[in-house]
Structure 1
Amino acid sequence: MTRFRQRVLAVSRPVTLTLASALLLINLAVILYGVFMRYLVGGAPIWTDELSRFLIIGSVMLAAGAVWVEGGHMRVALIERLLPARLTRLLHLYQWLLTLLLATAGALFSYRYALSVAMFTTSGLGISRTLPMLSLPIGFALLAWQAFWYGPGPLPSQTEETA
């Protein structure tokens, strides 16, 4: 089972990071277009700011699960180093279950919210608010998915390198 879990993560992490990177590149193009239009042409379309905001939120939500699995998120692992091995394993199980619970709840609640705002449109793009809001349940679901397959083990620690 461990090998299967590693394969699932080896596929899902690069896919989500690639999609998040693509959204960031599109965001960069939108921002540059808005800057070009505002300062060189004389006026930027209103939709550039709104689309940029939606793209950055979407890219962060897509990358959240992969960053969690890599241990690249911000956390303090002091307690893990101070506890005995048996309690450390219990703490890892607790952290894993809490992450699964919060990510799943976030996916469900944000999905219900995204559907509830379907009748409203965005001010700049003129599209249903449901479309940009769906990045939240998708991101939370991907976080739950990747945390589930990672399992209740210790997360990798990012250490600061001195130059």
Structure 2
Amino acid sequence: MSMFRDTLLTLLGRLTTGLGGLALMMTLIDILYGVVTRYLVGQAPIWSDELARYCLIASALLIAGNVWVRGEHMRVALLERHLGATARRVLLAYQWLLTLGLALAMTWWSWHYALSVSYFTSQGLGISRTIPMLAMPIGFGLLALQVLIYGPRPLPQPGIDDADTVSEASS
């Protein structure tokens, strides 16, 4: 089960990071296009800033789950390291349930929000506002899925876990 879970998390991580990277690349291309047109023509297309904003939000939300699973998000784990085994398990279960609950709540709320703005069109792109807003429930849903699969176990601690691996390998 553990090998299947880790394989699934790795595949989901690669997929979401790839999609997030694609959205980030679109942001970069769009911003460069806006700069070039401002320089050459004197103004950028009205849709350029809007597309960059939507792509940047999508990239951050898409990779959130993989960042959480790898323990690379900003957090304070001091208490986690100094508790006894039982108290640590309780704290890890609490953190996991809280993260899962918040991700599920945000998925539900953002889904309803994205659908509620379907009658409005974006100013620059002229598309239904639902389309870019769907990045929120998709991102939070993927975060919830990855948190659920990961389970209530300790998150890796980059830097600390890496140092332990290096010191174990050298001894």
Q: What is the TM-score with the length of structure 1 in the denominator?
A: 0.96
The aligned counterpart of 2:165 is none
Secondary structure (helix, strand or coil) at the match of 1:100 reads helix
Give the partner amino acid of 1:91. L
CA distance in structure 2 between the aligned counterparts of 1:10 and 1:83, rounded to whole angstroms: 29
Give the partner amino acid of 2:103. A
Offset of residue 7 of structure 1: 1.5
Offset of residue 12 of structure 1: 0.6
CA distance in structure 1 between the aligned counterparts of 2:118 and 2:71, rounded to whole angstroms: 35
Offset of residue 42 of structure 1: 1.4
The aligned counterpart of 2:105 is 105
Per-residue CA deviations over 1:17-37 (Å, capped at 9, x if unaligned) read 001001111110000000000
The aligned counterpart of 1:24 is 24
The aligned counterpart of 2:64 is 64
Offset of residue 41 of structure 1: 2.2
Secondary structure (helix, strand or coil) at the match of 2:39 reads helix
CA distance in structure 2 between the aligned counterparts of 1:65 and 1:91, rounded to whole angstroms: 20
Poorly superposed stretches of 4+, deviation over 6 Å? none
The aligned counterpart of 2:134 is 134
Give the partner amino acid of 1:86. T
The aligned counterpart of 2:94 is 94
Give the partner amino acid of 1:71. G
How is 1:43-82 mapped onto 2 (pairs within 5 angstroms)?
43-82=43-82
Over aligned residues, Cα RMSD in angstroms? 1.2
Q: What is the TM-score with the length of structure 2 in the denominator?
A: 0.91
Per-residue CA deviations over 1:102-161 (Å, capped at 9, x if unaligned) read 101100110001000000011111111000100000000000011111111001112389
CA distance in structure 1 between the aligned counterparts of 2:61 and 2:93, rounded to whole angstroms: 24
The aligned counterpart of 1:115 is 115
Per-residue CA deviations over 1:62-109 (Å, capped at 9, x if unaligned) read 000000000110000011012111111111111111111110110011
CA distance in structure 2 between the aligned counterparts of 1:82 and 1:63, rounded to whole angstroms: 30
Offset of residue 40 of structure 1: 2.2
The aligned counterpart of 2:147 is 147
CA distance in structure 2 between the aligned counterparts of 1:63 and 1:91, rounded to whole angstroms: 25
Greater relative contact order, per chain length (Cα 8 Å cut-off, separation 6+): 1
Secondary structure (helix, strand or coil) at the match of 2:27 reads helix
Give the partner amino acid of 1:153. R
* Structure 1 portions without partners, runs of 5+: none
Task: Report the identity percentage.
Answer: 55
Secondary structure (helix, strand or coil) at the match of 1:120 reads coil
Give the partner amino acid of 1:130. T
CA distance in structure 2 between the aligned counterparts of 1:69 and 1:94, rounded to whole angstroms: 16
